[in-house]
Amino acid sequence: MKTDSIFYQLFAEFPSIFFELIGRSPNETQGYQFRSVEIKQTAFRIDGVFLPSEDNPDKTVYFCEVQFQKDELLYHRLFAELFLFLDQNPSTYDWYAVILYPTRSLEPDETRLYQVLLQSSKVQRVYLDELESAADKSLGIGVVKLVVEPPENAVNRARQLIDQARQEIADRLSSQAIIDLIETIVVYKFPQLSRQEVENMLKLSSAIRHTRVYQEALEEGREEGRTEGLKEGRTEGLKEGKLAAVPLLLKAGLTVEQIAEQLEIEIEAVKQIAQQQS
């Protein structure tokens, strides 16, 4: 599984999850940008950095390292990159480093050189398999924990998270974007299955019907259909109204197949509109 890219996508779209994960208020996301940072004149690139915006210079810079395989030189590299960054950015107000492991067993065995840093208030290690209580309460942390969920439990847990996303649709997290990430995680866990099979397994067609963007787009299509039907006096008007909703659903990230199924129209008609939009 491409775990690092999933985490960086998750933090880029929902930075509040990172701050929840380290026990901070999600409100701390205000004034931050999640980026990768290249260290000038070296071969180093730090993939996950929460940088304060220019109008918030007195905020802490957060460094995030996702480590899903054993690497005895991890701390050598991490702290070398971190202090090179500080050397090249001397106006940095403060720093904090977070290392995410799926389990404690993947942490380097020899940490003697960096014990002072690792035991300081500047560094936090997070072990995803130990997030049980937090994962039950928080949707964001639950999605993070899904990455290390055993395959035999992953589908049921993913369905629970999808239901939770529906219920929290008015919350700060975008329900559909979270559902997309949940689906992506499950796809990586079951590489032998097609995306459509995963969608069926997770009952995502039902989930899509409950998203706000789908309901708004469908209602717009229905309204157009009623208008066209009254104006033209024929059933073609309803179909035209449904087709008017297709661009909105494409923009929301639904596939051509999903749109055709949910609007109950021919897939070729949806494909034609998708081609016009591209």
User: Is 138 domain-assigned?
Assistant: no
User: Is 141 domain-assigned?
Assistant: no
User: Is 158 domain-assigned?
Assistant: yes
**DSSP single-letter state for residue 264:** T
Question: How far is Cα 242 from Cα 220, in angstroms, rounded to an integer?
Answer: 8
Residue at 255: amino acid letter: T
pTM of the model: 0.68
User: Is 31 domain-assigned?
Assistant: yes
Do 126 and 26 share a structural domain?
A: yes
User: Is 11 domain-assigned?
Assistant: yes
Nearest Cα neighbor of 241 from 209, 267, 218, 261 is 218
Do 77 and 22 share a structural domain?
A: yes
| Residue 149 to residues 8, 20, 78, 102, 158, Cα–Cα distance (Å) | 18, 19, 27, 10, 10
**DSSP single-letter state for residue 45:** E
**DSSP single-letter state for residue 138:** -
| Structure tokens that stand for 114 in this block | 């960096």
Residue at 61: amino acid letter: V
Range of the domain at 217: 212-277
pLDDT in tens, 110-164: 999 999 999 999 999 999 988 876 667 788 889 999 988 888 888 899 989 988 8
| pLDDT at residue 116, rounded to an integer | 96
| pLDDT at residue 208, rounded to an integer | 54
Number of domains in the chain: 3
Question: How far is Cα 57 from Cα 93, in angstroms, rounded to an integer?
Answer: 7
> Quick one: pLDDT band at residue 95, thresholds 50, 70, 90?
very high
Final residue of a domain: which of 95, 130, 165?
Answer: 130
pLDDT in tens, 185-215: 888 888 777 767 777 788 776 555 555 555 5
Final residue of a domain: which of 165, 194, 210?
Answer: 210
Question: How far is Cα 248 from Cα 67, in angstroms, rounded to an integer?
Answer: 38
**DSSP single-letter state for residue 54:** T
Do 197 and 180 share a structural domain?
A: yes
| Structure tokens that stand for 128 in this block | 């995803």
pLDDT score of 276 more than 80: no
Do 257 and 245 share a structural domain?
A: yes
Nearest-Å Rg of the Cα atoms of the chain is 23
Give the domain CATH number at 104.
Answer: 3.40.1350
